Amino acid sequence: MACSIRYAKETKAVQKEGLKVYKSDFVGDVAMPAVAVLHTATGSCTAFAFWRKGNIYRFATNAHCFVKEEFENGNIVTFFLLAELALYDKNGYSLGFYPAELIGASLIEGKEDFAIVETEIEVLEVPILKLSKNDPVFGHCAFTLGFPTSAVGRVFLGFVYRLVHKTDKRILLKVRGIRDGHGLSGAPIFDCLAKEVTAIIDSGFVKDPNLLRAFPISAFRKFQKEAEVKYLRYLEGW
C-alpha cells in the first residue's frame, strides 16, 4: 500500500510539472524550431541543434540512422555520409530543407549510438538547445519532442523509469501517447524543470511503445569531444 501511495504522489508531481511545460513558451519558441526531421538513405529520424558558429549548425542524432553496412557481427560499421534536415515551426509550417553532412558517428550496441551532422542555414536563426551537465534522475518528470510517423513535431510527457546498469548504458523513459515510435530515434529528452537536454532517444519497444530507451547526455558529451578530434575514425566505423 505504501508503494502505491508513493507512486501516486510521484505521478501527480509529474503531471503538475508537465502542465508547466505546456504552458511555457519554451516548447513552441525554442524546442520545436530546434528539433528537425532527419532524412537519410535508411529512412527518417529526429535530430536537434546543439551547436552553432555563424551560419554553421551542428545537430545531434543516432548513428544507426546512417548505417550502410555492418561487418563481423556489427564490430565494424560503414555509414552514409549525407542527409537532409527538415525544420518546422510550432504550428507545423515548414521552415525549409537543408542538406547536411555526417561529421562524426559511433555505434556500439548498448553503449553508444551517436551521430553529429553539420549544415549551413542562412535564412533563419535556429535556437540552440542546452546540453545539461546532469544525467536524468530516476522518477523525475521528463519530456521528449520528435517526429514519430509525422511531419508535425509532437511533445510526449513522462518520467525517468530506470537508470543505467552494468551491461546496458541506456536509461528508460516512460511517456504517454505514443502509438508508433518510428522516427523518434535521435530525439532529445528534456528535464521538465531545467528544460535542458539530459538524454538522447535510441530506440523503443514494440510491445510497449510508451517505453523508450535513451543514452544519458554525459555519454554524448564524451563522444562529442572524441569526435571533434578523431571523427574520421568514427566515420570509418572502427
| pLDDT (mean) for 160-169 | 74
Q: 67-71, 110-114, 151-155, 214-218: lowest mean pLDDT where?
A: 151-155
Domain identity same for 197 and 168: yes
Same domain, 17 and 73: no
Mean of the pLDDT values across residues 161-177? 75
Strand (E) or helix (H) holding 160: strand 154-162
Q: How many domains, in total, are found in the chain?
A: 2
**Range with the lowest mean pLDDT among 7-11, 157-161, 209-213?**
7-11
Q: 57 and 9 in one domain?
A: no
Q: Which CATH number belongs to the domain containing residue 20 in this structure? A: 2.40.10.10
Structure confidence at residue 15 (pLDDT): 58
What pLDDT does residue 73 have?
Answer: 60
Residue 56 sits at the vertex; the CA angle it makes with 50 and 57, to the nearest 5 degrees, is 20
pLDDT tens-digit map of 53-112: 999 999 999 999 999 887 666 566 788 999 999 999 888 888 999 999 999 998 888 788
Query: Cα 184 vs. chain centroid, distance in angstroms?
Result: 7
**Residues 40 and 26 reside in one and the same domain:** no
**Same domain (yes/no): 113, 171:** no
Residues 232 and 115 grouped into a single domain: yes
Residues with Cβ within 8 Å of 225's Cβ and at least 6 positions away in sequence, in order, are none
Tell me how far apart the alpha carbons of residues 130 and 138 are, in angstroms, rounded to a whole number.
20
Residues 6+ apart with CB under 8 A from 34: 48, 49, 126, 127, 128, 129
Across 93-97, 161-165, 166-170, the highest mean pLDDT is recorded for 93-97
Do 64 and 10 share a structural domain?
Answer: no
Give the range with max mean pLDDT: 24-33, 81-90, 181-190. 81-90
Tell me, yes or no, whether 124 and 225 share the same domain: yes
Confidence of residue 7 (pLDDT cuts 50, 70, 90): very low
**Averaged pLDDT score across all residues of the chain:** 82
What is d(CA 207, CA 24) in angstroms, rounded to the nearest whole number? 33
- Residues 188, 120 share a domain: no
Q: What percentage of the chain carries pLDDT values higher than 70?
A: 77
H helix or E strand, kind and range, residue 217: helix 217-236
Q: 137 falls in which pLDDT band (50, 70, 90)?
A: confident
**Given this model, what pLDDT does residue 131 score?**
97
b/e burial code for range 158-178 (CB count within 10 A of at least 16 → b)? bbbbeebeeeebbbbbbbeeb
**Statement to judge: residues 164 and 207 lie in one domain:** yes
Answer yes or no: do 210 and 231 share one domain. no
Q: Which domain holds residue 167?
A: 2-30+129-216
Q: What is the CATH number of the domain that holds 116?
A: 2.40.10
Q: Could you tell me if 124 and 143 lie in one domain?
A: no
